[in-house]
A and B are shown apart, each in its own frame.
Chain A
Amino acid sequence: MLRKLSVIAAVAGLLTAGAAGPALANGHPLPAKDVHWSFEGPLGKFDQKQLQRGYKVYREVCSACHSMNLVSFRNLGDKGGPFYDAKYKNPNDNPYVKAIAKDYEVADIDNETGDTIKRPATPADRFPSPFPNEAAARASNGGALPPDMSLLAKAREEGPAHIYSIVTGYTAPPKGLKVGDNQHYNPYMPGDLTSSWSGSHEHVPPGGFIAMAPPLKAGQVTFDDGTPSTLDQQAKDVSAFLMWAAEPKLEERKKMGLAVLAYLILFSGLLYAAYRKVWKNESH
């Protein structure tokens, strides 16, 4: 739909304004901010302290509206996870994980009576959704649906850097941009602002509207490890945590990759030596 609109707008711009070429380059969001992550590169690993801080931001802020329904509590104690402890090979035994789960209430059915009940969660449960259904979620959020966060970091082209940029990127809307109720201007949000822009079509501001109000501010979350709770720190930590939630096997994958590549390079080297030896006396 957006694409159709932008194509129509672009073609219309070309036909009417004649030399309206640059209009095509407008409407794109700003590229995500450049962030350094501990999990980048072939040797990258999650920073466990950062994941713990990120989890706290998720727990205290994001989870009020965003579900994370592909992640179970036990995953927090998996290898590479925020609360992994080598002492507890089975994450279901991890006391942190048990305590975190107990804080949540999940829906269940009473085995005796068949009534629907609420009970404290166990590590085997998934994170419960903050809303019972999509309609309830939309009703509480001005008609917008807060996306599920399990895969958010992989479902956006620029990954966790996109989440970081959105959360830290709110700015005052430029003059001439009509911002609707329950809408917020964010230059990193994809969209097309042409219809809300009163200025020239050649200078449509970058980005789009987002229904979420700026979610984080300095000091909102108190970090247990004493890290200063700046907006930047919170955004970085929660983005890293969401990357873990989206790709919990990242560390395992990169570690295995090194072994596989080392093996393949050695094996190919051997095969090359064999090839040279076999073909030594044959012209080709």
Chain B
Amino acid sequence: MSGHSTYEPKTGFERWLDARLPIVRLGYDSFVDYPTPRNLNYWWTFGGILSLCLASQLITGIILVMHYTPSADHAFASVEHIMRDVNYGWLIRYMHANGASMFFIAVYIHMLRGLYYGSYKAPREVLWLLGCVIYLLMMATAFMGYVLPWGQMSFHGAVVITNLFGALPVVGPSITTWLWGGFAVDNPTLNRFFSLHYLLPFMIAGVVILHIWALHVVGQNNPTGVDPKSKADTVPFTPYATVKDGFAMGVFLILFAIFVFYLPNALGHSDNYIPANPLVTPSHIVPEWYFLPFYAILRAVPDKLMGVLAMFGAIACLFALPWLDRSKVRSMRYRPTMKIHFVIFVVACCILGLCGAKLPDDPVIPHLTTFSVMGSDLNSFVWLSRLAALYYFAFFLIVMPFLPLSEKTLPVPDSIASPALSHPAAVPAEATAAPEMKG
């Protein structure tokens, strides 16, 4: 889409169609001839992998709906009917349940790649924002999907999460009643969650189209963060990017298959194989792993409302990121100090995930008591999550805007091809053909 189209209709039918609906031209320009920076590494393959995840979730989901019954009385049994009586139902359901986790693994890598290489900076702010919208929709979809089997974790997870909105002043209780469709999580809640769980993926697909559109307007970022300047900097999308994406998808599918066929319940919670019972609360309610960092931030704050605001604030930071970062250098490859902060940030997120899975008052180092601050021992997961949450916010609100004021960056190459051509695999003929490239 950048530059004029080079598509030439070959057959009579293609010429006829091209004059009326140039859809083949659109596909050709977007996925064949589209110029791709030649230095993209494997971290750039996750966009394609995510499309695969979305397609897999849509297909398996549509098949599951053919056999699922959205009713508080029958939902649990209908899921077991899928597992036991539907031909390959176990495969479809395990693909869908584990597919959600795979989707989040891929999206977190995709987001961290964007963060590291500055893919959110001008002119890619809208591209990044659309990505954040997709992520938000994914979280809503995943949460509502987890409620549908109507097991113990489904039910009590729904109770905990919907109750969060009750913390909002004045409107809180009305919002929860409205979400529930009654005065407790019950059949109306299940039915609306089912309806929305079916709707939101198509909204995700819609925003994905916008995301790809925005991508093709501004072009892909690349590990150097330098815009492509000449033809020497790019290669056509097909076959170069398609084959690399294809290989990465194959490897990703191997990981997916290992979970589906050999560890299908490893990422779930055993309590969800117990039918929902409002009168029995599981001893330890935990969300799915991909929500754990946010759950830890929620619990790190002693006040419920402030905890809810902190949790939503953690997501809001992502939306504000393009304007929080004041550095002129895109890629962290040339920002050594920022690189260190990036590593600490990833570690902090992992620590938050760990804390989210633990009981807040359990000790981090077993059998050690220090002293109690704010009602909890310092050697507890709640304090660990407080420290990690503090860093999470400091990374966005302090490091991002203020580090660039005193940051020493490394020299940025003039063009993509210059460092790429200094690669040992470089062909000398190409280097001499581009005399302006001196790193």
Task: Report A's interface with B, CB cutoff 8 A.
Answer: 1-3, 6-7, 10-11, 14-15, 18-22, 24-25, 42, 70, 75, 147, 150-151, 154-157, 159, 190, 246, 248-249, 252-254, 256-257, 260-261, 264-265, 267-268, 271-272, 274-275, 278-279, 281-284
Contact = CB atoms under 8 A, between A and B. Distances in A.
A151 B272 CA distance: 10
Nearest to B254: A264
Given A19-B369, A155-B273, A275-B247, A264 B90 contact: no
A147 B368 CA distance: 38
A138 to B, nearest CB: 12
Contacts of A14: 369, 372, 377
A22 B379 CA distance: 12
A53 to B, nearest CB: 23
Nearest to A74: B85
Given A253-B91, A282-B240, A264 B253 contact: yes
B419 to A, nearest CB: 10
B57 to A, nearest CB: 18
B284 interface: yes
B250 interface: yes
A150 B80 contact: yes
A10 B84 contact: no
Contacts of B430: 283
B317 interface: no
Given A264-B250, A271-B246, A278-B240, A190 B367 contact: no
Contacts of A265: 254
Contacts of A271: 243, 246-247, 250
A10 B271 CA distance: 24
Closest 10 CB pairs of A and B: A257-B261, A21-B369, A268-B250, A155-B273, A271-B247, A283-B426, A151-B273, A2-B283, A249-B90, A154-B273
A156 B377 CA distance: 31
Contact of A254 (B80, B261, B362, B368): B261
B251 interface: yes
A268 B251 contact: yes
A21 B368 contact: yes
B114 to A, nearest CB: 20
A268 B245 CA distance: 11
Contact of A3 (B235, B359, B366, B377): B359
Given A154-B265, A253-B90, A283-B430, A11 B361 contact: yes
A68 B367 CA distance: 42
Given A11-B361, A265-B254, 17 more contacts: A1-B281, A7-B359, A10-B361, A14-B377, A151-B274, A157-B270, A253-B91, A253-B94, A264-B254, A268-B247, A271-B250, A272-B247, A272-B250, A274-B246, A275-B247, A282-B235, A283-B417
18 contacts: A14-B372, A14-B377, A21-B363, A21-B379, A42-B261, A151-B80, A155-B270, A190-B283, A253-B90, A257-B257, A257-B261, A264-B257, A265-B254, A268-B247, A271-B247, A278-B243, A281-B427, A283-B38
Interface of B: 38-40, 77, 80, 83-84, 90-91, 94, 235, 239-240, 243-244, 246-247, 250-251, 253-254, 257-258, 260-262, 264-265, 270-271, 273-274, 281, 283-285, 359-363, 366-369, 372, 375-377, 379, 417, 420-421, 423, 425-427, 430
A220 to B, nearest CB: 28
A7 B420 CA distance: 57
A260 B244 CA distance: 21
A264 B251 CA distance: 8
A70 B262 CA distance: 23
Nearest to B255: A264
A284 B284 contact: no
Given A75-B84, A154-B273, A283 B247 contact: no
B3 to A, nearest CB: 20
A284 to B, nearest CB: 5
Contacts of A253: 90-91, 94, 261, 264
A261 B246 CA distance: 16
Contact of B254 (A18, A190, A261, A281): A261
A10 B47 CA distance: 46
A3 B361 CA distance: 11
Contacts of B246: 271, 274-275
B90 to A, nearest CB: 4
A245 B280 CA distance: 24
B254 A268 contact: yes
Contacts of B250: 264, 267-268, 271-272
A261 B257 CA distance: 7
Contacts of B91: 253, 256
Given A282-B38, A283-B425, A275 B244 contact: yes
Contacts of B361: 7, 10-11, 24
B270 A283 contact: no
Nearest to A249: B90
Contact of A284 (B38, B80, B251, B260): B38
A15 B376 CA distance: 9
Contact of B260 (A22, A150, A257): A257
Contacts of B244: 275, 279
Given A1-B281, A155-B274, A261-B254, A274 B262 contact: no
Contacts of A282: 38, 235, 240
Given A264-B250, A283-B427, A11 B257 contact: no
